[in-house]
Amino acid sequence: MDLLLQIEPVNANDARLEISKINRYLTVMLNYLKLTTLNTDLVLTKVALKPLVNETVRDLAKLFIAKDLTVSVETLPTVISDSQWLRFIFEQLLTNAIKYTPDGAIRIYAKGDAVCVADTGIGILPEDLPRIFEQGYSGYNGRANQKASGLGLFLSRQIAEKLGLRLTVTSKVGVGSTFAIHFPQTHWQAE
């Protein structure tokens, strides 16, 4: 931020993007601290995923626009879960997709027992895939870009497990990645 403010004229859009990033990192840190008490903070209700995901996409709109990425949100189910924590998971998956997609698209859709976040980004090295959900692990992409804390995916997996969900990933270098949030059948709700 300091460097951005030293360049005349100050680019307000760039400054806003940086403030947005700082706010997201702060949220990750606060949720990391809150993780130990997550069981007492769960409020399970019926959650229509499409409005929740659309709201998250709107909150991240400046990031999509800054990289000229398209995003599509397809038909999504209604589930029983905690909307606050589920939104955190989607925000982490979407910000990672944005961070590692230089151009192209991000697609959110339902498939089988899962809701998927797929990107056309740089992909994840096969040797990194088994470790990306480990605390503090940022992998080759995170170290190369120096933009990863190694906490977002770790927290997402921890939260998913507490919600009775499972996170998986498939990826191919140069093609993109697909993260899937798997819901047990008992979590799906009829519309």
Q: Is the peptide bond before 51 cis (omega within 30 degrees of 0)?
A: no
Side-chain half-sphere exposure of 23, counting CA atoms within 13 A? 9
Report which secondary-structure segment, H or E, holds 158: helix 152-162
Task: Tokens for 140, please give them.
Answer: 């080759």
pLDDT in tens, 1-22: 666 666 777 677 777 777 766 6
pLDDT in tens, 95-146: 999 999 999 999 999 999 999 999 999 999 999 999 999 988 877 666 565 5
Total number of domains in the chain:
1
pLDDT in tens, 42-81: 788 999 999 999 999 999 998 899 999 999 999 999 999 9
Q: Which residue has the tokens 């589930």?
A: 79
Q: List the CATH number of the domain containing 49.
A: 3.30.565.10
Residues spanned by the domain of 127 = 2-189
